[in-house]
A and B are shown apart, each in its own frame.
Chain A
Amino acid sequence: MPSALRRYRALEARQAFGWVPLAGLLVGLLLIGLCSLLLPRLPASAINLMEQVMLIHGMGAVVLVNDYLAIYFVAFFVGAAGLMRALVEPREERSLELLLSKPLSRRAFLSARVGPVLLAVATVGLGMTVATGLSAVPYAAEEGVSVLGALGAGLVLSLLVVLLLALLVIPLLLVRDTFQGYLAAFGFWMVPMVPVAVLIYRPDVFVGNESLRALLAMPANLVWFDAAMPVTSLILLVVAIGISWLALGLGARLFERTEPR
């Protein structure tokens, strides 16, 4: 790699690891701390309801489900904000043309801008995963809850977020306004949450479709298959890298054909 390109990549990486992931990580750790602090203080009836609707057992599982939601929520929006800064804002500010007038291919630009954002998201996910692992420690004696499982599930969610964000790059290359971008991001974030809403309020839909339920009802399923989480996270690592690479390749081809205005 020419040294100028290396320096450019380093500059982009420094931009991606700024205040956005730091603020996200701080809020994320705060939310996980609050889950551990507040959930055990809820009345037994509220905890029972959460156990019944999510098909889980014990306070440890209830705390973990909420921690998992926090990871999914924070990591995703940290990434969405990072991608807006990297891809949509320069277009809105009419600075993209100027950036691309340098001897820099669009593919190189895209990978230098998106790669570090995805890495920053993974770092936020990892930090929150460690905190989730710690929040599982007091409940490790409960059946179906383990520190290793919590760490694995945190990684699974972080990787899922990276994968979703890599796919989100494609619509973000098409919009000219950050707010359309945020609406697209919200749509991407919401879709994986639909099955768990169905699980809670319309469990009849999944009767006879137990394998579909096991696959889709995130984050409850991460607790159901606690023991399998470490292995699942390793498999998903390969899948997420592969699909992200494909999505970015597709994005680069699309980007080469779009007007940078």
Chain B
Amino acid sequence: MSARFLWLDVRATLGERKTLLAAGLMAYAVLAVPFLVAKPPEHVMAAMGTWFGASEPFTLFLYLWTDLAMNKLVVILGLVLAGGLVTRERETGVLAVLLSKPMSPVRYYLVRALSACVVMGLLYVAGHLVAAPLVARGVPGFRAGTFFASMAVHLFAAFFCVCFSALMSVLVPKRSLAALVSLLVLFSLVGGSFAGIYNPAWREAALVNPFAHGVTVVTHMAELRPGHVLGSIAVLLGFNLALLALGAARVRHLEV
């Protein structure tokens, strides 16, 4: 039954207007980033060389695509897709009806969170598939393999945003406060994604930040190994499962 519920929920979310608006934001990134990397100043390219060991147009592109566009986008999409999980149903008065079905609150929470992750994944991967051929034309030396490897890892940072917003929605009593806490915490973490690159002395400490793992393909662009990709995905998966478990534990004690 959960599988059918998941399928119906994904389909319903894909049909909502907010998903269309979210796809619009993705399209905006596809247009804006190639414009920004078209004529970079010398000092910016020199910094790319220092930080990532390569100063090609593609280096700057992948850095901006990940940090300026995708990092910000996943925070807002995570909130939009999972920010009101369970509490929204409670406050609009439909939660009691939903839970009269043979489904526990925990299962309901987990299926909805998973569904939000599926929608996030669909939007995110579709955005990258559409972007790749367009960007390949505009950015000399475009490396599709690195681009999609980066997508694969950062996708799990996007799931982190979904799981975090879902957790806040059941942990913080007021919806507006829950949304604000999600935005402030996630944007602050995103701001520190590259802290270990800006100051190599912080490299170890910066790894407590999930987004530092999310950008691992960008930071290891020059000598990328499968271990980087798989290791970071594993770490992010751990973070996400922990958030889901915390949310599920909280939902168990939530009053309807």
Contact = CB atoms under 8 A, between A and B. Distances in A.
Interface residues of A, number: 46
A54 B111 CA distance: 46
Contacts of B32: 194
A180 interface: yes
Nearest to B199: A42
A24 B40 contact: no
Contacts of A225: none
Q: Which 6 A-B pairs have the closest CB atoms?
A: A85-B176, A81-B180, A179-B80, A81-B176, A201-B36, A52-B43
Given A93-B91, A183-B25, A77 B180 contact: yes
A183 to B, nearest CB: 5
A182 B79 contact: yes
Contacts of A94: 92-93
Contacts of A187: 25
Contacts of B180: 20, 23-24, 77-78, 81
Given A92-B92, A93-B91, A183 B40 contact: no
Contact of A73 (B35, B60, B176, B187): B187
A77 B177 CA distance: 10
Given A19-B174, A202-B38, A182 B92 contact: no
Interface stretch (A43-51, A128-136, A234-242, A243-251): A43-51
Nearest to B82: A179
B15 to A, nearest CB: 13
Interface in B1-46: 16-18, 21-22, 25, 32, 35-41, 43-44
Interface string B110-153: 00000000000000000000000000000000000000000000
Q: For this complex, into which size category does the number of interface residues on chain B fall?
A: 35 or more
A5 B225 CA distance: 67
Contact of A27 (B39, B40, B184): B184
Interface string A201-229: 11110000000000000000000000000
A194 B38 CA distance: 16
A231 to B, nearest CB: 31
B175 interface: yes
B175 to A, nearest CB: 6
A182 B199 contact: no
A113 B162 CA distance: 30
20 contacts: A18-B177, A23-B184, A31-B188, A42-B199, A52-B41, A53-B41, A81-B183, A85-B175, A89-B176, A92-B91, A177-B17, A180-B17, A182-B80, A183-B25, A183-B76, A184-B21, A201-B37, A201-B41, A202-B36, A202-B40
Given A89-B176, A183-B22, A202 B35 contact: yes
Contact of B174 (A77, A78, A85): A85
Contacts of A89: 91, 175-176
Contact of B179 (A49, A81, A194, A201): A81
